[in-house]
Amino acid sequence: MSELIATGPPARHGGLSPRAAVILTASIAALGGLLFGYDTSVISGAMLFFQHTFHLTDVQLEWAVSAVLLGAMAGSGAGGRLTDLWGRRPVLLATGIGFGVFSVWTGLSTGLATFVIARFFVGCCIGVASLVTPLYISEMSPAKIRGALVSLNQLAITVGIGVAYIVDYALSGAKDWRLMFISAVIPALVLVVGMIFLPESPRWLAKSGRRDEALANFRRLGREQEAQAELADVERVLREETGKFRDLFRPGFRTAVWIGIGLAVLQQITGINTIIYYAPDILTHAGYSSDKAAILATAIIGIVNILTTVLAIVLVDRVGRKPLLIVGTAGMAASLGYIGYAFAHHVMGTGVFIGVVIYIIFFAVSLGPVVWLMIAEIYPTKIRGAAMSLATFCEWGANFVVAVTFLSLLNAFGTANTFWIFAVLSILGLLFCWLIIPETKGKSLETIEEDFRRLGLGRGARS
């Protein structure tokens, strides 16, 4: 793997073809997504046990669950600036170290206060990883397979979620919630070791004036004949940008900014993390007889999530981003409506489980991978880190609002009405995707940027 950072422009890397070298690079970086998925979802099974350890009320439990989201907001808010200053690779490496340290701290917590503080810092790492991982992969990937490679991040997130559910189930008999959290140190170590050997983003190097290194890294990533032309495109676009954050709100860029924010918020307000964080609790309310049975059903949901994300990776560069978003949000609206119907008419147990599985399938083929992909595609190179930071901050803010109010919504409006609210929001999301979202399939990052600039300037001229 150290061959990936060797000097010179070899045609093959340690026996790997250029395509395989890019895939390996993306796969290692995607471990940041795996940790993101694991650390956000492991609490779904653990909460059934640490709630009793710390004697928590429903409101306290909401805050114990949501502390990680406050941290993610902080991490996503700072991560863009850090990655623009220091580079994509060092920030992702430091994030892996943080995941390991704070996951152990969480498992060793002696009370609610120390638990919440530890989860907040885990959340900071999640927030940074949620923007740096797809950003790094998108900047390393050729246009023809960028959708699939960036979607590896979403696959890794779903694998992390699935593994967390399986670990929760395996430890549920012993009710060992502490080990559920501590076990995240294993993938964190793998990420840290892997990132030591990976190259820096050539687009970030070009932005930082390190042209020779940028050209060498394009070649090491298999571009070979295209390296000079690709670097020239990056440099041309960089010359046309001033690099100020406020420039995102100029007519040339603000269309992309609002689309990115809209997609990020839409991903959360359609209810995905009510399932990810509270699935065992939902299934217990639906009539599952024991905590262990509810956690097992949740693990099955996690496996479905992984398999459907694999399908999305196959489709995203063939079918395109927009068709997947339209089909997915329509299916999510229908399945959420059915879940509400099941609770309203006491079609419990298996009926609710089937509705949740269908919802996960439609989410995993659409909003799950496509949102992270598009917010890694649509922003200008010089300030892409800061722009993604804004979108991911909004995403985690919406996530926090949903997570911190979900149990209260159930108590205030009832389970059926709560899921119908999410169904209505999914219908609004369908209209947003249908009427507003452009297609970016098969285009270079520089071409996408120029398209948005022309679109924004055209609208600005008419206004």
Just give the CATH number of 11-198+240-462: 1.20.1250.20
- Total Cβ atoms within 10 A of residue 269: 17
Q: Note the pLDDT of residue 168.
A: 87
Question: Crossing angle of helices 88-107/185-196, nearest 10°?
Answer: 160
CA distance 316 to 322: 9
Question: What's the burial of 16, exposed, middle or buried (CB within 10 Å: 0-12/13-18/19+)?
Answer: middle
Q: Note the pLDDT of residue 1.
A: 34
> Residues 61, 210: contact at Cβ < 8 Å?
no
What is the chain's pLDDT, residue by residue, as a tens digit (463 residues)? Answer: 333 333 333 334 445 566 777 888 888 888 888 998 898 888 877 887 888 888 888 778 878 888 888 898 899 888 878 888 898 999 999 999 999 999 999 999 988 899 999 999 999 999 899 888 888 888 888 777 777 888 788 888 888 888 888 898 888 888 899 999 999 999 899 899 988 888 888 888 888 888 888 888 877 776 666 777 778 777 777 776 555 666 667 666 677 888 889 999 999 899 887 777 677 777 777 777 666 777 777 788 888 888 998 898 888 888 888 999 999 999 999 999 999 998 888 777 778 888 889 999 999 999 988 988 888 787 776 667 667 778 888 888 898 888 778 878 888 888 889 999 999 999 999 999 999 888 888 777 778 777 776 665 444 433 3
Cα torsion through 219, 224, 226, 231, rounded to 10: 20
Q: Note the pLDDT of residue 3.
A: 34
Sorted by where each begins, the domain ranges of the chain are: 11-198+240-462
Which of 16, 42, 389, 28 is closest to 192 using CA atoms? 28
Q: Note the pLDDT of residue 18.
A: 67
Question: What's the burial of 242, exposed, middle or buried (CB within 10 Å: 0-12/13-18/19+)?
Answer: exposed
Give the sign of the dihedral formed by CA 375, CA 360, CA 286, CA 165. Answer: negative
- Amino acid present at 403: A
Q: Note the pLDDT of residue 392.
A: 83
CA distance 148 to 165: 25
> 62 in helix, strand or coil?
helix
Q: Note the pLDDT of residue 302.
A: 83
Question: What's the burial of 219, exposed, middle or buried (CB within 10 Å: 0-12/13-18/19+)?
Answer: buried
> 272 in helix, strand or coil?
helix
> Residues 162, 42: contact at Cβ < 8 Å?
no
> Residues 219, 130: contact at Cβ < 8 Å?
no
Q: Both tokens of residue 21? A: 């070298």
Query: Given the structure tokens 């990937």, which residue do they identify?
Result: 141
CA distance 24 to 1: 9
User: Which neighbouring-strand residues pair with 13?
Assistant: 16
| 13 DSSP 8-state letter | B
Q: Both tokens of residue 355? A: 């509705």
Query: Given the structure tokens 């969480």, which residue do they identify?
Result: 106
What Rg, from alpha-carbon coordinates, does the chain have?
22
Q: Note the pLDDT of residue 6.
A: 34
Q: Note the pLDDT of residue 225.
A: 65
Which of 274, 23, 259 is closest to 155 using CA atoms? 23
CA distance 257 to 378: 8
CA distance 324 to 336: 18
| 251 DSSP 8-state letter | T
CA distance 335 to 332: 5
> Residues 132, 80: contact at Cβ < 8 Å?
no
CA angle 10, 12, 14 (to 5 degrees): 105
Q: Note the pLDDT of residue 244.
A: 61
Which of 318, 321, 332, 385 is closest to 360 using CA atoms? 332
- Total Cβ atoms within 10 A of residue 323: 17
Q: Both tokens of residue 142? A: 């050729």
CA distance 181 to 136: 27
Cα–Cα distance list, 146 to 215, 433, 441, 443, 451 (Å): 19, 21, 9, 9, 18
**How close are the terminal C-alpha atoms of the chain, in Å?**
53
